[in-house]
Every structure is written in C-alpha cells, then in structure tokens.
Structure 1
Amino acid sequence: MSTSAGLNIFSFKGKMKILHLSWMAFFVTFVVWFNFAPLLQAVKTTLGLTTEQIKTLLILNVALTIPARVLIGMLTDKYGPRLIYSLLLAICSIPCFVFAFSDSFLQAAIARFALGFIGAGFVIGIRLVSEWFPHNELGTAEGIYGGWGNFGSAAAAFTLPTIAVMFGGDDGWRYAMAITGAMSLIFSVIFYSNVSDTPKGATYFKPKNGGAMEVTSTGDFFLLLIMKVPMYAALALLSWKLSPEGIGMISTHVAGLIYAGLAAFYLFDASQVWKVNKHIFSEPVPEIHRYNFKQVAVLNVLYFATFGSELAVVSMLPLFFSETFELTPVVAGMVASAYAFMNLMSRPGGGWLSDKFGRKPTLLILTAGLAVGYFVMGNVDSSWPVWLAVVAAMGCSFFVQSGEGAVFAAVPLIKRRMTGQIAGMTGAYGNVGAVCYLTVLSLVDYSTFFMIIAATAVLGFVTLFFMEEPSGKIAEVNDDGSVTLIDVA
C-alpha cells in the first residue's frame, strides 16, 4: 500500500525508517506528556490533593511547552534532530520518574512543570522529516508523523488505567507512569542509534545565528516582534490563572513578579532579534536569500485555531457530552474519544491533500470547513440525537486535524535552515490557542465557546489571502560559500 508515489508505509528502510522512528518518538513524548489525565483520580486520592491542586497540575503540565517549543526549535536547527530528540526523551524521563514517585504536592508540581518540556518534541520531527522527503511527498510524510504521533495521548488514556489496575493497590498509578518514563529513556537510545539527520551525502543547513529567528526585511523585523507578543501574553494568562484572581496557588506579589519577568524577557528577546537582524536596516538582503515572514505569521494564526482548539476541545468534550445528553462519564469518554481517533487519518489526509492540490487552496478549504464545523457544534443541544452529535464532532475534528496536517505541510517549505525555529513558533501558537480557548471556556457556556472558535477560524481564513503558495526554490548557502537550490514546488 502506498499513500503517494515512493511513500510506502509498510517499508522500514531509508526515508521510511526515519519517518516511522520519528512518529514513534513523537508518540512516546505524547504518552509521557498526557500520562496524568487518565490517572488523575488515583493521583488525587493517593497524594491527598484538593480539586484546586489538581487543576494547578493540569495548568503546569502545559505552561512550559510554549517557550520550550521555540527553544527546542532553535536547538534542533543548530545541533540536529537526532541529538536533540534523543536528549529530550532521555532528560524528560527524569521528571516523569519524579512525578511517579512523588509524595507531596510540591514535588508533583515541580515535576509536572518540567514535563511540559517534552511537549516540544513535535517540532524536532518536523525538521527531521523535511530533510528526508521531497516537496511532493512532504505534506503526506509530515501528516503521518503528526497524526500517528499525536495519537499517543489517546493511547495513554486507553492503556494507563488498565496497567495501573494490573499492578493493583494504591500505587498502581505510580508503576504505570514509571513505565512511560522507562519507554522514553529506552527509546532515546533506540532513536539515537538508528537515525541520521540527513540522507547520506546531503547537507544539513544551519542558521547563521542561533540567538533569534532571522528575517530578511525591515517590515518582517517588526512583524516578528508583534508575533512574539501573544506567546508572552499566554504565559501571563497562565500566571493570572494561578493568582488569587484564579485558583489562588500564588500570591498577588508573586504574580506581579512573574508579569515583570515576562516583560523583561520580552525586551531581552527583542534585543536578540535586533542583534541578529540589525544588518537589514543598512544593507538589503539579496533577493535569492529572502523569505516572507508573513508566511510564518499566517501559519501561526491557523495553528492557533486548529491545534489550539483541538487541545481545548479534547479536554472538555467528555464533560460536554455527559452534561448535554446525561451520559455516564464512561460512555461520554468513549463517545468523545471519536474526536481524537480521527487524528490517525485526518492529519495525514490534510498533508496528502496539500501535496496533491497545493498548500494554499487546501488550507482555504479546510479552514472554511473548520469554521462551519464549530458553528454546527455550537448549535448542538439535548434535542439532538446523540449519534448526530457524534457525527458532528467527528466531522469537525476532520477539518481541525486535516488543517493541522496542511499547516505543517507548508512550514518546511519556507526556509530550510530555519525549519526548526519556524515549526517551534507555529507549534507554540497551538499551545497559545489552547490557553486562550480554555480561558474562554471558563467564562462562557459551551455554545458560545464553540462559536468563538468558529470566529477565530474565520479570522484564519481571512489571513490566508495574505499567504503565498510556495513556489520555485529555496536558496541555502553551503559551508564553502556555494549555493544549493531546494525545490519547494
């Protein structure tokens, strides 16, 4: 069976070996990252935690992922995906073990905060897969990587409670979580031993400067600074949630210090952007080496609406079905899982459509479907048959996850040597979206929540008209000064 010419999913040789090991690594990171939710009640009982402390752990689990994706993207471009993915898997097994055997809320909170870093693993594979697949197969390959790897969260939900029961007793959850840490540690060795950054003889292009993202025009310089603001704002929003105005984990004084720290770090970040790019104000970048940062900005907005909404909806959908249709928690969870199951085919499908029909046309269609899908979800109520509500959720999830695949079918075609950084920023916007949508959910009813997501999808559709279909070639400079042209269309 082949999903496109030269792309046989049953092969485990050459580029297909790299693809399979990449999605497996991503799968492991998501199993570890989402190992808490399915064992939440057991953790709460064993450690004697309050409901507010559990909510705090859930927030801490995603807090670090926003800056981590940006940082990991930069490290990937500089040192290569093989080393960075292996180190991430190995190092993040440590807080996983710490959480599994913690005996206090403080230990659990620190470990959960550190585990947010493993959520950055996704961006590493985006760069690695882009090195091994040509442009006409890249969307499909990235879609398989993202869709099959992302299924790790659903796999954790289905398997970890069973494993905990198998071990039995109050500490069954500890062993289940420790097993995920062991998986991460073992796979780090497997990955490092079997992967190379590029095919034999190919060049791995690195950024000229590792301190900040390069831009190639003065307008793009200011657009980059603007696009960084929502990432810091999302972290400020998380701090607000932890403050007395939210769940009261931190004091007003501590929250104020965090806000000041975020503002200071943004200024430092901006100074690094200036340091890397100040030359563009005095000497224009040659046309052959330019790229449009607006391409990145558009993809950021789209991933905010797609992956951001997926993270938010997956966390609330069981409760939505339970309350709307008076289902038991078990049945509601099973019904809601249909949304996550769509990832296995939808995300690769979005990549395949992009390969076949073009990046921009595919994104336009899928984003329009996304807006319509959430509009329909906003009209679901108890008068609907349950089966029809499930169909609506699955239809919506198709456009959400296909849209994610289409976004990352375009990311690697912007500037090869900066693919990790671009993927890191776009990936971070997905988490920014989740933070924003979940905050909205805490303030409004379900119908309004879905309608707001639909409205942001419409905004994403409008921004798409500013996107340019990737065409021609990307120019990259070799160490000896010669130029390599990489086909993108």
Structure 2
Amino acid sequence: MATEKFNLFAFKDKMKILHLSWMAFFITFFVWFNFAPMLMAVKESLGLTTDQIKTLLILNVALTIPARVIIGMLTDKYGPKIVYSALLIFCSIPCFMFALADDFIQAAIARFLLGFIGAGFVIGIRMVSEWFPHNELGTAEGIYGGWGNFGSAAAAFTLPSIALLFGGDDGWRYAIGITGIISFLFGFIYYFNVTNTPKGSTYFRPKNSSAMEVTSVGDFYLLLLMKIPMYAALSLLTWKLSPYGVNLLSHLITYFIYSGLFVLYLFEVYKVWNVNKHIFREKVPEIHRYSFKQVAVLDILYFTNFGSELAVVSMLPLFFSDIFSLDPVLAGLVAGAYAFMNLMSRPAGGFISDRFGRKSTLLILTAGLAVGYFLMGQVDSGWPLWLAVVTAMGCSFFVQSGEGAVFAVVPLIKRRLTGQIAGMTGAYGNVGAVTFLTVLSFVDYKSFFLIISATALVGFITLFFMEEPRGQIAEIKEDGTVELINVSHKG
C-alpha cells in the first residue's frame, strides 16, 4: 500500500494511478454515451424511425449488466492493468463500426457491443483499492467515480460541436470516430504507465474465477437469490425488444432468448456450487470468512442510487420541458445541473465515509435520497423554476454522494474478490436503471419519483443489517502465509 501524502495535484505514485484510472473511466463513459448527443443527426443520416432510435438506446445498455460481472471476474484474475487497457483498445472497434454504419442493423449490432465498455468502471475500483489505505479509500474511489462519470456529460457538451466543426451529413461520424481513436490510444497509455500494486505488495487473486466465493451455507443461497434480478432485467430488456415492445425481435427469437437466460442461470448455479460445495462439508475458519450480506445490501443501495441517476438523467430534460414549457435546449441545460453535481458529490460521499464511518454515512445519505425524490415528486408548474432546479440538485447530491459511499465500502469486504463484488454491485445499478425506466413508461412523473423514494426507504431498512467494516481482512499469499489488511482504525 502506497503511504505518501494524499495530494490531488501530484502526478506520481498512487496519485498517478488515481488520475490515469479516472481518465480511463472518463473515456469509457465518453464513448458509451457518445450516441445520445448525436441522436437526431444519426436518425436523419440513416433514415431511422423513432422506435428504431429507442431500440438503439435500449441496446446501448443491454450488455452492460452481464459485462460488469464478467469484467469484475477478469479483473480479479488478470489484474486491472491489462483488463482496462484491453477494454479501451478492443471497444474502439464497435465504436468505429457505429461511426461507419449504413443502416439500422449495423448500428444496432455496434451499439449492443458497445455496452461492454460500460463495464470499465469496475476495473478502476479494484486498481484504486490496491494503492490507497482504508482511511483514504472512500475519497480516492469517490474522485475516481465522480470525475470519471463526468465523461457522459463531456460527450453531451463537446460532440455536437465537433460534429458541426466537420459539418455535412457525416459530421456525427467523425465525432463518434474520434471518441474511438481516443479510447484506442489511451488503452496503450494506461498499459505502459500503471502497475497493479505498489512495489512489494501482493496482488491477491481468487481461488477460482468461474464464480464468486462465499464462506457460509446461508450466503450460498443468498448469492443465488441475488443473481435473479440481473436475469430478470435482461428478460425485461428482451421484452422491450419483442413484438410487445419495439418489435425488433420476433416471437421465436424472444422465446429463444428467454430460454437461453434460464439455462444460463442454471449453469451459473452449477458454477457457484462447484466453487463453494466444500462449505457444505466443513466450516470456513473465522479469519477467512466474509459476510455476503454486506454485498447484498450494497447491491440494493446501488440499484436505487445509480439506477435512479441513469434513469433520471435520461428523462429530466423532458420533465422540465413538459412541466415548465421550456424549449428543448434550455430544458437540457437546466437538467444538466443534475449530472454536473457528480464532480463534487461522489468524492464528497467517499470523503464523508472516510471521516465519519461507512454505515452512518450511508444511512444519512440514503434517507436524504428518499426525501429528495419525494420532493421531486411534488414539483409542478406552480413551483418557481429556480426552486425546482435547486430541489433536483439537492436530490442529486444525495444520490451521487450515496454512490461514492457505497464504493467506499466495496473494497473493504474481501480484497481478492473486489472486482467481482464491484462488478455485481455495478450491475445492480444498471438493473435499477432498466427497472426505473420501465416503470416510467407506465406511470406519470410524480409516481415515478415517489416509487424511487419508496425504493430508497427499502434500502435504508436493509442498511440496519449491514455491519460496519472493522479490524482487518485476511488474505493468503502464494507462499501460504496470511497477510492482514486494515479496513478500519478500530478492531
């Protein structure tokens, strides 16, 4: 663990790793969200219908749910250095495919494959956890998440201007192609400038990378239960693409995908059993145990906060436009205040968590999130616009600070499983987004915000079952000796 002072303006040792990692995450989101700002230009250029555009937006997030789990496993096994570099380099290919697409099918395949780059976030969580001590970890992870997450806003601010600079019907192609070039080049920059751990530190790998390890029989069943919502979300996305939704998939293909997801879940059950069957025969020694209940609680919290953020960011311009009769450009700028909060809020959540405790911080922020969305549900045309914007920004603070506080806990549960835990928690954020956006398609704005508020209350209650990370976690070195890693000041 690097011990030098935390200096945000330094660019060496652990601070260099932090800065390069948030830049890598920033680029993944810059590429992943390069479609929305170009939406109308793509629609006109390729002659697409509104339903086809909606389909591309769905496809853009479809692959991210399983991708975050897969990338988490690969990160734990091979290390964040090679996995982040490979992701940035290889995901430039579907980015170029989309920039060169001539019809809907080509664009659809490219957007589906690009969902994989949305998993990049998970990799940096493990990288940062290797370089920062427990008392700085929340702050470092918050900076990584908050500054990296701003890549989506940067895409919205810059890509339309780049497209205009090139001009003509193909301006959007150049703008999107440039994001692919940036991703490709930064993959090499990252690879040649980082290491998985500080010099002399051990990179702990899971005993088996095919499924997550658990350390009790109860946790085995809880893990299988917590896998189900991810498959449910993928089934929901399939339903949206079926004849009952935007009619991209036929009935036959829809039922084939449903069957495939069911078989895949059974296969995952088999894998989890294979990795963990020994716990049914003998108890895991106390020193090597961890509580999967901690992971389940963080999943539920991230479902609510990041899930609601992704959903709200996509609907807020329309919300302000409809409620206050604003023109689309002004509505977009007003709604942008919600996303802009990421730069400060997520690091703040991590910082507060480092200073005042993980659990108490999460309780306060989750309660604030519930109140924030309740107030958003009260906004109507009778409100002054400034008050509605302030309410949205206040709500946004609790949402994004909560995200920072969640990932201040993730690396403190079990070091060698950090990638897998981050992958599952991150995937739950996408499950939340799919769920909330589906809810929005059936209810009005008020009900939408109140449902998120109620979900936050559920998260608040589950937090009472989470234990504050204390003392040390044990990991076994390759030579068989045990290393104890501090996760708090107190035992």
On whether the aligned pair clears a TM of 0.5, the verdict is yes
Aligned residue in 2 for 1:228: 227
| Partner AA of 1:381 in structure 2 | D
Aligned residue in 1 for 2:453: 454
2:385 pairs with 1:365? no
SS in 2 for 1:444: coil
Deviating 4+ runs (over 4 angstroms): none
SS in 1 for 2:306: helix
Aligned residue in 2 for 1:183: 182
Residue 247 of structure 1, CA deviation: 1.1
TM-score, with structure 2 as normaliser: 0.99
The alignment-based identity, stated in percent, is: 76
Aligned residue in 2 for 1:483: 482
Q: May I ask how many residue pairs the two structures share in their alignment?
A: 486
Distance 2:182 2:447 in 1: 40
2:140 pairs with 1:113? no
Aligned residue in 2 for 1:135: 134
In structure 2, stretches of 5+ residues that fail to align are: none
| Partner AA of 1:243 in structure 2 | S
1:154-165 correspondence runs (5 A): 154-165=153-164
1:3-42 correspondence runs (5 A): 6-42=5-41
Residue 5 of structure 1, CA deviation: 9.2
Q: Deviations over 1:352-397 (max 9, x none)?
A: 0000000000000000000000000000000000000000000000
2:212 pairs with 1:213? yes
Distance 2:393 2:459 in 1: 21
1:189-268 correspondence runs (5 A): 189-268=188-267
Distance 1:253 1:193 in 2: 47
| Partner AA of 2:468 in structure 1 | E
| Partner AA of 1:158 in structure 2 | F
Distance 1:252 1:219 in 2: 39
Q: Deviations over 1:244-298 (max 9, x none)?
A: 1111111111111111000000000010000000000001100000000000000
Q: 1:91 to 1:185 in 2, by over 3 A?
A: same
SS in 2 for 1:474: strand
Residue 6 of structure 1, CA deviation: 2.4
SS in 1 for 2:483: strand
Distance 1:473 1:233 in 2: 36
Distance 1:62 1:280 in 2: 36
SS in 1 for 2:467: coil
2:53 pairs with 1:54? yes
1:420-439 correspondence runs (5 A): 420-439=419-438
Distance 1:421 1:358 in 2: 24
Aligned residue in 2 for 1:96: 95
In structure 1, stretches of 5+ residues that fail to align are: none
Q: Deviations over 1:61-83 (max 9, x none)?
A: 00000000000000000000000
Q: Deviations over 1:56-105 (max 9, x none)?
A: 00000000000000000000000000000000000000000000011011
| Partner AA of 1:342 in structure 2 | M
| Partner AA of 2:57 in structure 1 | L
TM-score, with structure 1 as normaliser: 0.99
SS in 2 for 1:304: helix
Aligned residue in 2 for 1:442: 441
2:85 pairs with 1:86? yes
Aligned residue in 2 for 1:340: 339
Q: Deviations over 1:115-172 (max 9, x none)?
A: 0000000000000000000000000000000000000000000000000000000000
SS in 2 for 1:475: strand
Aligned residue in 2 for 1:389: 388
Distance 2:58 2:463 in 1: 31
Q: Deviations over 1:193-217 (max 9, x none)?
A: 1000000000000000011000000
Aligned residue in 1 for 2:407: 408
Distance 1:273 1:155 in 2: 40
Distance 2:355 2:7 in 1: 17
| Partner AA of 2:275 in structure 1 | V
Distance 1:172 1:469 in 2: 52
Distance 2:310 2:48 in 1: 24
Aligned residue in 1 for 2:294: 295
Aligned residue in 1 for 2:378: 379
Distance 1:418 1:459 in 2: 26
SS in 2 for 1:124: helix
Aligned residue in 2 for 1:149: 148
CA RMSD of aligned residues (A): 0.8
SS in 1 for 2:475: strand
| Partner AA of 2:380 in structure 1 | D
Distance 1:462 1:356 in 2: 23
